[in-house]
Structure 1
C-alpha cells in the first residue's frame, strides 16, 4: 500500500503572456524545477494565469501560493483570490516585495559594473517597471524598491520609469549619462522587456540593451526557496 504524499506543496504563479502563453509557462516550470532542487522535501508546482486551465489544475487544499509578481497589485490582490476561491491556502509575499530582493539585485548590478570596468565610478541605473492605470501599488513597489536599493549601491543614480504611467521609461531614460544600466523590474521576460523597453531606450538615444529581467537574475530560485520556508514556519508558529 502506497503511503500518502505528505510533503508541503507550493505553487509558483505568474501572470504569463495571454498572446503567447507557452514560453512563459515553460520558463516558470524551469524556475520551479530549480526551487525543487533546493527543497527536495517539498512538491514545487508552477502555473501562469495566462495558460488556460493550468492554475486550477495545480491548485490543491493547503497549498502555499507564491506570487511571482513585482507588487501586491491587481493580479495578486484581485485576480488570484478569485481564482483560488474558498480553497484553503497560504499566500507568500510577492517576489518584488521580498526584503531580500534588494541585496540580490545589488549583487547582480555590482557584478555587471565590474564586468564593464566601472568599479569606483558613478553610473545611472534605470528601473524600468510596469506601473498601472488601475492603481498606485505597482509604481509604489518600484519606487520603494529603488529606495531600498540606494544604500546598497551608493555610486548609482537610481531612477524609475514605467510602461503604463508617468514618468515613462523614455522620459526617464533621457536623463541617463554615458555609464548607464537599465534593469527591467519584471518577474518574467515578455513583450515589455523584449520590445517596449528597448524601443523606449532607443527613442531616448540610449543604445545599450537592457539587462535581463529581475526575475531571471542569479539567486532568484534560492530567494523563493527561503521565502517558502519562512512562510511555512510562520504558519506553524500560528
Structure 2
C-alpha cells in the first residue's frame, strides 16, 4: 500500500503526464517541451528515432521498431561496468518484481551496450539472466549505437587505463523512455528508487496513447 508521500508523488506525476501528453497541439508549433518531477522528465510529444538494427542477447537480429506497442526503458551500459550498470539493473529488477503482471506485459526493459567490442550475445545472455531473464540486451552495431545515443541525448566514451588494465566505458546513467509509438518520450535521472520507479511506470502504461 502506498504511504502518503507516495500517493502525493503518484498524483502529481499523473497530472504532469496528462499535461505533457495533452500538450501536443502547442508542441507541434513550438517543438516538444518537457514537464517533470523528482528526476522524471516527460516530453509533450514523442521525438522520432531511427530504426537501428542490433543483435539481441539471443543472437537474433533486432530492430528498434520491434519495441513499438509497449513502453520501453532503455539503459546504456556494458557487462564490464564495475558499478553503475549492476546497480541500475538490480534496481530495475526490483522494480519489475513490484509491478503487476499486466503492467509487466506492457513494458520492455532494454540494456543497450556501449561496448559492442566485448559485449557479444554469448556474454550478455548470462549477464542479463542473472539480473532478470525478462530483460533484453542489444549489441553489435557501433553505427546504430552512435545514432541512437545521439537521438536520445545519451553520452558514452572509451576510457583507456594504464598498463594492462582493461579499458572502461564512461556513459550516461539516465533511463530513456520510449513510448508505444516507438518515439523518444523522456527520461528518468538517477538515483533509481524502486518505489518511485514503480509509480512512474504504472502511470505511464495507464496513459492514453496519442
Task: State TM-score, norm by structure 2.
Answer: 0.30
The structure whose Rg is larger is 1
- Relative contact order, higher structure (CA 8 A, sep 6+): 2
- Normalized per residue, the structure richer in helix is 1
